């Protein structure tokens, strides 16, 4: 990329997959002539609206702590010098897509199955893949995942991959 302001946006939620997303972004950013921009999203849970006075400062501080902790896990004292970070209030899917609007790439982790068997992307990563204007890399860290949909049974015996 010729743009000196190019960036690789990384969604950070503190999960193992988001820590791995930071590490992968650090390896990819030089090839894209980009810097890393780590984003942690936070919001006040709507379930509490009207019942509990919102302490927005506490939610933002928790997101900032999660972001700092994830950066520490990903890089230790050797964090890339050109990494930027921000906490953003709002739903993660929308805010990450917005942050990636002018990015070279958006990197997000996949936390789980979202409670639905057969759904292999989390809701945040699926929304990013569906709506981002830039390429999206979804990082999986659960080594035990078996892509069962790629295998079939043939006459009672396991067949080769499709």
Domains of the chain: 7-158 (3.40.50.620)
Is pLDDT above 60 for 112? no
Higher pLDDT, 105 or 142: 105
Is pLDDT above 50 for 19? yes
β-bridge partners, 51: none
In this predicted structure, which of 67-76, 126-135, 145-154 has the lowest mean pLDDT?
145-154
**pLDDT of 1:** 41
**pLDDT of 21:** 96
Q: Is 85 exposed, middle or buried (0-12, 13-18, 19+ CB in 10 A)?
A: middle
**pLDDT of 117:** 40
Q: What confidence category does residue 114 fall into, taking pLDDT thresholds of 50, 70 and 90?
A: very low
**pLDDT of 47:** 66
- Distance separating alpha carbons of residues 81 and 57, to the nearest angstrom: 28
Mean pLDDT of 17-25: 96
Q: What confidence category does residue 22 fall into, taking pLDDT thresholds of 50, 70 and 90?
A: very high
Higher pLDDT, 122 or 94: 94
CA 119 to chain centre: 17
pTM score of the predicted model? 0.78
**pLDDT of 115:** 42
Tens-place pLDDT, residues 51-62: 667 788 888 999
**pLDDT of 161:** 44
Residue 157 tokens, joined: 């015996």
Percentage with pLDDT > 90 across the chain: 57
């Amino acid at each position: 990329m010729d743009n000196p302001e190019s960036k690789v946006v990384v969604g950070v939620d503190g999960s193992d997959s988001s820590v791995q997303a930071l590490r992968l972004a650090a390896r990819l950013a030089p090839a894209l002539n980009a810097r890393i921009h780590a984003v942690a999203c936070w919001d006040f849970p709507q379930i509490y609206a009207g019942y509990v006075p919102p302490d927005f400062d506490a939610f933002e501080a928790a997101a900032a702590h999660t972001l700092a902790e994830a950066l520490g896990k990903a890089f230790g004292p050797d964090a890339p010098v050109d990494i930027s970070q921000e906490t953003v209030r709002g739903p993660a899917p929308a805010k990450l897509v917005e942050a990636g609007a002018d990015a070279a790439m958006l990197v997000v982790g996949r936390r789980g199955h979202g409670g639905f068997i057969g759904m292999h992307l989390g809701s945040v990563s699926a929304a990013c893949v569906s709506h981002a204007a830039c390429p999206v890399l979804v990082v999986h860290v659960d080594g035990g995942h078996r892509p069962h949909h790629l295998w079939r049974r043939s006459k009672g015996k396991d067949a080769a991959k499709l």
